[in-house]
Structure 1
Amino acid sequence: MTGPVILALTAGEPAGIGPELCLQFAVEKRDIGVVVVASQPLLEARAKLLGLNVTLHPWQPGMAPKTGAGELSVWHVEGCASLMAGKLDAANSRYVLETLTVAAKGCLEGRFDGMVTAPVHKGIINDAGIEFSGHTEFLQELCAVERVVMMLATEELRVALVTTHLPLKDVPAAITPERLTQVATILNADLKKFFGIERPRILVAGLNPHAGEGGHLGREEIEVIEPTLEKLRTNGMQLMGPLPADTLFTPHWLDDADAALAMYHDQGLPVLKFQGFGRAVNITLGLPIVRTSVDHGTALDLAGTGKADAGSLHTAIRVGEQMALSLKAANHEACNHRKALNKENSE
C-alpha cells in the first residue's frame, strides 16, 4: 500500500472490554486511520450502554477512515449472537475468529497496513468446540508461516518468548535447537526491520534455576541452549547467555540490551507486566503482516462499566503505526533496489 497508514482494529470478545476500548479510542480526534472490524450493532449497543456519542461509519476497501472526534469507521462482520457486556456466549466464537480472519486477510491483500487486536477469550472459543490457543498461533496458521514469535514491549523493555501457550510440563521438550534457532533469527531480523536496531543485543534466559547450575539443576542449557547460541553467534548475532532468569531482569544486564528472550510464557511476561502493565504492547514477529495487541485480557468484570483503561490500546495502535511505516520504508527500499538491478542487467 502507498499513502497514509491504515490499521484494522478487531474488537475482540463481545462480552469483554474490547468493544468499548474501540469506542473510547474514537472519542478524540487522531492522526492515524483506524478501521474497526466488528459487528456494528455490537458497537452501537455498547456506545448506548456507556453513553458515548460516537457516530459509526460503514467502511469499504478504498475508503479513507474517519479520524474526527466522535467518528469511527467500521467494517461490519456478521454473526455476533449476543451483545451483552460481561456475559460470555459460546455462540459468539465463530464471529470472533471471523473478525481476525477478515483483518488478517485485509492486511495480506493490501487493504490494511497492519492489524491491532483487542483481547479474546480463549476458554469460551474452546468451549464452542473450536481448537484455539491464541491470536499468535491462529495468525501463524492463517498466514502459513512455519514459526512466529510473541514479544511484549514497553518503552523500556522488550521480552520475546521461545514457547508461548504450553503447559509447563511440555516446555522442556519444546525447546529444541531448531525452534530456538528459528525464534532467535526472527527476533534478531525483526528488531532490525521494525525497530531500526542495526545490531540487536539479545539476552537469553536459561530454562532451569541458575541456568542449570552447570548441569546440577538440569542439562537443557548444556545440551541444547548453549550449543545453539554458539552457532548463532558465528552468524553475527549478539546473544548473551544462557543467563539465570532471576538476574537477567536487572539493570546490570538490561541497561545495555535491546531485548530479552525467555524460554516460556511465565518466565518473562510477569516481569514485563509488573514493569509496564497497561502501557505495554503485544507484538507478533515473523508474520508477513504487522500485528500488535493490548497487553491485557477481556476484563469481563469491567465490561460495560466505562472504567476500562484504553492506555494499552493506544500503545498498540501507536506501535503498529510505527511498524507499518518501517515495513513500508523497507519495501520501498527493496523495490528501488530491484529496479536498480533490473536497470543494470538491461544495460
Structure 2
Amino acid sequence: MTLPDKPVVISCGEPAGIGPEVAAGAWAMLRDDIPMAWVGDPRHLPAGTPFEEIATLSEAAMVCPRALPVLAQSFAHPATPGSPDAANAQGVIDAIERCVGLVQSGEASALCTAPINKKALIEGAGFAYPGHTEYLGALAGGSGRAVMMLASEALRVVPVTIHIALKDVPATLTPELLRSTIDITHTDLQKRFGIAKPRIAIAGLNPHAGEGGTMGREETDWIAALVDELAAGGINIAGPMPADTMFHAAARAGYDVAICMYHDQALIPIKTLDFDRGVNVTLGLPFIRTSPDHGTAFDIAGRGIASPVSMSEAIKLAHRMAGSS
C-alpha cells in the first residue's frame, strides 16, 4: 500500500459541539504522520490551538507538523459551546460542500466529517436531508446508494436498515435492499480496504435465525436463498447466522464484515467491543468519507474533556483507505 501525500480534509461540523476540539486533538496526535487540513471558522477552534491559515491544500503537508492547517470558512457568528446558533447553520453546510469539492477535484485524498446537528441545520438553513450521509450522496450526484459501515480493529458491521422503528424493519427489509447492501459492501471492501476476496457474514433477522421457521420465516422464505445465490456467483458469503453467536472472538475471526438486519443488531456489538475507536464509514460514494462514531455532545462541549480518539481513528482510516484505492 502506498499512502497518499495529499491531505485528509476535515469538515468542521457543528461549531457549538465537540467537533472543533476533537479535530484539534486529533491533529495533535497525528500531525507528524498524516497530512490534514480543517475547513471552518478559526474563531471556533479551542483557545490556544496552534493553527495556520492556508490558501490551498498544497500547503497542508508542510504546515501540519507545526500547526493545524486551516482553510478558513466564514461563519456568521462565533460559537458558544453547547448552544447551537441558527445563524451558523449555512456555514456548516457550506463547509461540507467545500470539502466534497476538494475531494472530488483530487486536491484532498479523503474526507473526514465532524458531527452535525440536524435540528440546527433544519431550523437555521432549511436543511432538506435526513442526515449527513444523504447530503453527501446528493453532492456526489445522487448516483447509487450510500451504505453505513461502522469499523474498528475489532469488528466491521453494516446495518441494512438504519434509523427506522423496529416494527418497520421486516417490511423495509427486502431482497433488493439486502442484495444492494451486500454488493456495495463487497465492492468497497475490495476497492477501499484492499481485501481481494472479502468474507461476508449475514445475520438473521429473527432469534436463532428463525430456527427453521419456528421463530420467523424471513430466513427460510428468502434470505437463505439469496445468500446461496450470491455464494454460487463467487461471493465469499455465509448465513443467515444467529446474531447472538456472531460476535464472540472466535466467530469474528471467520469474517471481514458482518451485515446485520437493523441498527442495534449492528451497533451494539461494535460499541461494546470498541466504543472509543469505532469509525463511521460511508460506502457507495465516489469518494472516501469517514466520521467519528459520536455526535455533537453539547453537554460536554467546550469543557476540554472530549476524547479525540474516535476522530483520530477516523482520520487514520480515511488515510489508509485512500492508500488502498
- How far residue 23 of structure 1 moved from its aligned partner, in angstroms, is 1.9
Q: Go from structure 1 to structure 2 and tell me whether the alpha carbon gap of 1:130 and 1:55 turns closer, same or farther (over 3 Å shift).
A: closer
Correspondence for 2:301: 303
Q: Secondary structure at the match of 1:214?
A: coil
Residue 33 of structure 2 aligns to which amino acid in structure 1? D
- How far residue 138 of structure 1 moved from its aligned partner, in angstroms, is 1.8
Structure 2 residue aligned with 1:137, among 134, 147, 155? 134
- How far residue 164 of structure 1 moved from its aligned partner, in angstroms, is 2.1
Q: Distance in 2 between matches of 1:253 and 1:21?
A: 33
Q: Distance in 2 between matches of 1:125 and 1:207?
A: 34
Q: Any stretches of 5+ residues in structure 2 without a counterpart?
A: none
Correspondence for 1:205: 203
Q: Distance in 2 between matches of 1:226 and 1:127?
A: 45
Residue 214 of structure 1 aligns to which amino acid in structure 2? G
Do the aligned residues in 1 keep the contact of 2:7 with 2:57 (CA within 8 Å)?
no
- How far residue 310 of structure 1 moved from its aligned partner, in angstroms, is 0.6
- How far residue 317 of structure 1 moved from its aligned partner, in angstroms, is 0.8
Residue 93 of structure 1 aligns to which amino acid in structure 2? A
Residues 223-280 of structure 1, C-alpha deviations (whole Å, 9 max, x = no match): 3322221221121111111112112222342121111111111111111011101112
Q: How does 1:112-123 map to 2 (within 5 A)?
A: 112-123=108-119
Which has the larger displacement, 137-146 or 30-39?
Answer: 137-146
Q: Distance in 1 between matches of 2:263 and 2:254?
A: 23
- How far residue 293 of structure 1 moved from its aligned partner, in angstroms, is 0.8
1:86 aligns with 2:88: no
Q: Secondary structure at the match of 1:37?
A: strand
Q: Distance in 2 between matches of 1:314 and 1:261?
A: 25
Q: Distance in 2 between matches of 1:220 and 1:137?
A: 28
Correspondence for 2:253: 255
Q: Secondary structure at the match of 1:31?
A: coil
Q: Any stretches of 5+ residues in structure 1 without a counterpart?
A: 328-347
Q: How many residues are aligned here?
A: 319
- How far residue 292 of structure 1 moved from its aligned partner, in angstroms, is 0.9
Q: Distance in 1 between matches of 2:151 and 2:28?
A: 26
Do the aligned residues in 2 keep the contact of 1:206 with 1:243 (CA within 8 Å)?
yes
Residue 40 of structure 1 aligns to which amino acid in structure 2? P
Q: Distance in 1 between matches of 2:254 and 2:85?
A: 47
Structure 2 residue aligned with 1:76, among 69, 72, 75? 72
Do the aligned residues in 1 keep the contact of 2:58 with 2:107 (CA within 8 Å)?
yes
Do the aligned residues in 1 keep the contact of 2:40 with 2:71 (CA within 8 Å)?
yes
Q: Distance in 1 between matches of 2:108 and 2:164?
A: 31
Do the aligned residues in 2 keep the contact of 1:116 with 1:291 (CA within 8 Å)?
yes
Correspondence for 2:12: 11
Correspondence for 1:100: 96
- How far residue 3 of structure 1 moved from its aligned partner, in angstroms, is 6.2
Correspondence for 1:334: none
Q: How does 1:188-267 map to 2 (within 5 A)?
A: 188-267=186-265
Identity %: 40
Which has the larger displacement, 160-169 or 277-286?
Answer: 160-169
Q: Secondary structure at the match of 2:192?
A: helix
Q: Distance in 1 between matches of 2:86 and 2:220?
A: 45
Residue 80 of structure 2 aligns to which amino acid in structure 1? M
Which has the larger displacement, 146-155 or 160-169?
Answer: 160-169
Residue 21 of structure 2 aligns to which amino acid in structure 1? E
- How far residue 82 of structure 1 moved from its aligned partner, in angstroms, is 4.6
Q: Distance in 2 between matches of 1:25 and 1:134?
A: 24
Which has the larger displacement, 234-243 or 24-33?
Answer: 24-33
Correspondence for 1:342: none
Residues 183-209 of structure 1, C-alpha deviations (whole Å, 9 max, x = no match): 101111221222222221111111122
Which has the larger displacement, 307-316 or 190-199?
Answer: 190-199
Comparing both chains, which one has the higher relative contact order based on Cα–Cα distances under 8 Å and sequence gaps of 6 or more? 2
Correspondence for 2:320: 322
Q: Distance in 2 between matches of 1:80 and 1:264?
A: 39
Which has the larger displacement, 78-87 or 266-275?
Answer: 78-87
Q: How does 1:155-194 map to 2 (within 5 A)?
A: 155-194=153-192
Q: Distance in 1 between matches of 2:225 and 2:123?
A: 41
Residues 258-309 of structure 1, C-alpha deviations (whole Å, 9 max, x = no match): 1111111111111101110111211111111011110111111111111111
Alignment RMSD (CA, Å)? 2.0
Residue 14 of structure 1 aligns to which amino acid in structure 2? P
Q: Distance in 1 between matches of 2:220 and 2:265?
A: 19
Residue 127 of structure 2 aligns to which amino acid in structure 1? I
- How far residue 61 of structure 1 moved from its aligned partner, in angstroms, is 4.4
Q: Distance in 2 between matches of 1:106 and 1:112?
A: 6
Structure number with greater Rg is 1
Q: Distance in 2 between matches of 1:127 and 1:223?
A: 44
Q: Secondary structure at the match of 1:68?
A: coil
Q: Secondary structure at the match of 1:289?
A: coil
